[in-house]
Amino acid sequence: MVQSHGNTLTSIRFYVFIGITVVIFVLLLYRIYDLQIRQYSDLSSEAVRNMYRQYNIPAPRGIIYDRYNRPLVYNQSNYDLEVYPFEINRDKKTWDNLAEILQVPVETLKERLENSMNGYYRPTKIASSLDFATVTRIQENLLELKGVILTSRPTRQYAPGITSGHLLGYTAEIDRNSMEILMSKGYRPGDFIGVKGVEKSYEEELRGVNGTRFVRVNALGMDFGEDYSKSIPVIPGNDLYLTINMDLQRYVESLLDTLPYSVTVLDYTNGEILAITSQPEFNPAIFSGSVDYDAWLALLNDPHMPLINRTVQGLYPPGSIFKLVTTVAAVNDKVILPSHQYFCSGSYRLGRRVYKCWNEGGHGTLDLYGAIERSCNVYFYQLIQEVGLDRWYHYGSAFKIGTLTGIDIPDEKAGILPNRDYLDNKYGQNGWTSGLLLNMVIGQGDVIVTPLDMARYVSIIASRGKISTPHVGRAIYDKQKGSLHTLSFPSDSLHEIKSTSWDVLHEGMRRVVAGEKGTAKIMNIPYLEMYGKTGTAQNPHGEAHGWFIGFVKNQHFPYAIVVFVEHGKSGSASAAPIARKVLEYFWEIKAF
């Protein structure tokens, strides 16, 4: 008799067992396929990442030169400290050692890591702009500082005596909010970007392309040398050549230390700016490396607001320099002849209101040339009523008043040239009277301009109608191609103004300087054929502002100048003397 065993496998159990075995085997095959074939690329890359440590190499920004190839902004090495979160967090001793070397509490260092970390396996910067002694101590102890690396990055340095923060701008590390947007443009965490000035407007040309080093490491993170076959070389940024004359720029920044002011000197034949400043200025060097908090706070709280670029952002009434718009409107459309006379008693009555001249004793009987020379308000009060708002606005628009100049310095603001629509919107239809014209004709009331707007304005007058875009960029040197590319800017011409009208403007401006009773006689420099116009703009917040605009008629010295002095009381007393100093200095240093 055959004895039956308890583990006898029935046919049902057999097939279930076979089925389970097949399923497991299929799953194993699929997993092998998934790991070895479908995910090969990703896993291979991850394996390579585990074998290599990746170091970002910041590209040095391009050098910024003046018009004579002298460096205004260049680079200098700066050391930062970065850590790999996955390594440093495994060793508490490393945190303690770093805290001792940096003289920063461990909690603060960990907080910096938490705030800046962009991945557990990516290096994160926790200290910037280390001094030489700190760098030396870190290098001496680097073997004990697991997951810690020193990185060198180029930082911006500036020519001695140059504090052109508004012109040059500065660079700053990209914040986390901006990083999300800029990563698509090739920026990496920890990268620096141009802020303000030409550093911002020429960011694409100056920035370069970062490189990458791949260093072999073992499981303990020890360095086994760089793999040059994988490393990506740095592409330095292109160099930028400006139209600026460094010597003149340095000089215009040093003229006043008591009142805010703006100076612009430009070539009226092509719009090239030789010097441009807004004072008080800020020194961009304070933003190189770690920003000193106290210095930043001092800038923010300074009552003179040095962070505002008065030249391109300051909005002010132009005062009497705006009388030239009414002049050209009157003579070009033959509203009057230059010989037409009005009488000035020192004031003018329109309806119930009396409008005063700056000379309370009056100027007597004047023709147009005399009115420009002596800047008589009453003459222009009477003239604007014949010219009218629409004609006045038409010619102001022809000079591009109230529009952006398009300068290659960022954050420019546009002024206001009022027309009927503007006045209707502001005061309501029938809510304004012709009395507003008497304010606007002398550059008061609703007329608002920037000093840069006036630089274009006087350049158009000097060139007899050429409308050039004021600019500071001159050329870009492409380091990859080894070629110099000259920059170009839009230009236009004001065709509708007759030659005789330009003659009248120039004659009036010449008398302002050379006339017996000219308001800018201080500008009558013997060796320069100078043309100009002063302006005093009333200011509801304090002393009046002072203006001077002018140009030299000399084919070897074709320069226009605009000087604006905030609270300067009058153009004759404050702005014109500065303009003389600038042009005399410029003439001395200019090589002929």
- My answer on whether 410 and 512 are in the same domain is yes
- Asked if residue 66 belongs to a domain, the reply is yes
- My answer on whether 160 and 262 are in the same domain is no
Structure tokens at 322: 């705006």
Residues 460 and 492: their CA atoms lie apart, in Å, by 10
Q: How distant is the alpha carbon of residue 459 from its chain centre? A: 22
- My answer on whether 440 and 563 are in the same domain is yes
- Asked if residue 311 belongs to a domain, the reply is yes
- My answer on whether 186 and 256 are in the same domain is no
- Asked if residue 222 belongs to a domain, the reply is no
pLDDT tens-digit map of 464-485: 999 999 999 999 999 999 999 9
Task: Give the residue from 401, 411, 456, 399 showing the smallest Cα distance to 272.
Answer: 456
Residues 260 and 66: their CA atoms lie apart, in Å, by 25
Q: Please answer whether residues 192 and 32 qualify as being in contact, where contact means their C-beta atoms are separated by less than 8 angstroms.
A: no
**Per-residue confidence (pLDDT) for residue 222, from 0 to 100:** 55
Residues 156 and 164: their CA atoms lie apart, in Å, by 13
Q: Where are the beta strands (DSSP E) in 159-267?
A: 170-173, 192-195, 211-217, 223-226, 239-242, 261-267
Residue 209 reports pLDDT greater than 80:
yes
- My answer on whether 206 and 350 are in the same domain is no
- My answer on whether 403 and 501 are in the same domain is yes
- My answer on whether 435 and 547 are in the same domain is yes
- Asked if residue 79 belongs to a domain, the reply is yes
Instruction: Kindly report the average pLDDT of the chain as a whole number.
Output: 89
Name which residue leads in pLDDT, 41 or 331. 331
- My answer on whether 402 and 477 are in the same domain is yes
Question: pLDDT above 70 covers what percent of the chain?
Answer: 91
- Domain span at residue 84 reads 53-212+236-242
**Per-residue confidence (pLDDT) for residue 230, from 0 to 100:** 77
Residues 120 and 114: their CA atoms lie apart, in Å, by 10
Structure tokens at 517: 């009773």
- Asked if residue 28 belongs to a domain, the reply is no
Task: Give the residue from 379, 386, 353 showing the smallest Cα distance to 365.
Answer: 379
**Per-residue confidence (pLDDT) for residue 1, from 0 to 100:** 46
pLDDT band of residue 186 (cuts 50, 70, 90) is confident
Lowest mean pLDDT among 211-215, 316-320, 391-395, 488-492: 211-215
- Asked if residue 44 belongs to a domain, the reply is no
Lowest mean pLDDT among 285-289, 490-494, 566-570: 285-289
- Name the domain count of the chain: 2
Q: What is the CATH number of the domain that holds 451?
A: 3.40.710.10
Cα-based distances in Å from 226 to 124, 153, 214, 229, 455? 20, 19, 6, 9, 56
Task: Give the residue from 255, 263, 63, 280 showing the smallest Cα distance to 158.
Answer: 63
- My answer on whether 207 and 257 are in the same domain is no
- My answer on whether 187 and 262 are in the same domain is no
Say if pTM beats, i.e. exceeds, 0.75: yes
pLDDT tens-digit map of 520-547: 999 999 999 999 999 999 988 889 999 9
- Asked if residue 11 belongs to a domain, the reply is no
Residues 479 and 142: their CA atoms lie apart, in Å, by 36
Read off the pLDDT of each residue in 311-323 and give the average, rounded to a whole number: 97
- My answer on whether 277 and 165 are in the same domain is no
Task: Give the residue from 539, 277, 504, 224 showing the smallest Cα distance to 373.
Answer: 504
Read off the pLDDT of each residue in 189-195 and give the average, rounded to a whole number: 86
- My answer on whether 483 and 378 are in the same domain is yes
Residue 591 reports pLDDT greater than 60:
no
- Asked if residue 64 belongs to a domain, the reply is yes
